[in-house]
Amino acid sequence: MLSFNVLDDLRQEYEVLGNFIAKEDTQELIENAISLMSSSLKADGKIISAGNGGSMCDAQHFAEELSGRYRDDRNAYAAISICDPCHLTCVGNDYGFDYVFSRFLEGVGKKGDVFLGISTSGNSKNIIEACKVCKEKGIKTVLLLGKDGGKLKDFGDISIIVPHFGYADRIQEVHTMIIHIMIRGIEELMSKA
């Protein structure tokens, strides 16, 4: 027998999602992120995503759904996740882990691109450093955050915060839903190009 009730976990996620939905700015922020990303793609920009641990998996999932497909067949969109182990270990070794994303953006990012940074704590130093490079280069930032947004909440052009102070998995589960909604929205707006 398990030491926990499976339905209790589902109820907790339902509550976290409910709290996120109840925020006054939830719909507006997600719609603004979709619009910003779609505008970038229409202007030959790209979306570069990054995160740590499970958030890296979310960043990869976001990029591959755009460069591959989500629900319907369509042209590929310019999206890439910063997840190459050679890059991460090279920069981590030579400059430190705090710079693994910012170095990539220095080399590959350009004005008109959009950076999607994901941090359940809102305090990931390497996402903070990435945002600094984005500001210098004119790259817009969309951030998916948790808790109260942490230090990162003021770094994003659009900061979407899932207000939960428990375990990160509950935040990640809502982040996955947001990612799917953003992809669906991007596909819809891009089809109207």
Q: Does residue 20 lie in a domain region?
A: yes
Element (H, E) at 31: helix 26-42
Q: Look at the alpha carbons of 175, 131, 22, 35 in this order and tell me if their dihedral is positive or negative.
A: negative
Residue 3 within any structural domain of the chain: no
Q: Percent helix, strand and coil across the chain, each rounded to 5? A: 60, 15, 30
**Number of residues that this document lists for the chain:** 193
Mean pLDDT along residues 145-159: 97
Percent of the chain with pLDDT strictly greater than 70:
99
What average pLDDT does the chain have? Answer: 97
Band (pLDDT 50/70/90 cuts) for residue 193 is low
Provide the percentage of residues in the chain whose pLDDT is more than 90. Answer: 98
Tokens of 62: 């976001």
Q: Residue 2 domain-assigned?
A: no
Asked if residue 102 is part of any domain, the answer here is yes
**166: domain range?**
8-191
Q: What is the pLDDT of residue 192?
A: 84
Residue 28 belongs to a domain = yes
How many structural domains does the chain have? 1
CA distance 5 to 76: 42
Q: Are 106 and 131 in contact (CB under 8 A)?
A: no
Question: Per the domain annotation, does 1 fall within a domain?
Answer: no
| CATH at 68 | 3.40.50.10490
Could you read off the pLDDT of 79-128 as tens digits, one per residue?
999 999 999 999 999 999 999 999 999 999 999 999 999 999 999 999 99
pTM of the complete model: 0.97
In a domain, 133, yes or no: yes
pLDDT digits (tens, 9 = 90+) for 6-27: 999 999 999 999 999 999 999 9
CA 66, 71, 74, 78: dihedral to nearest 10 degrees?
0
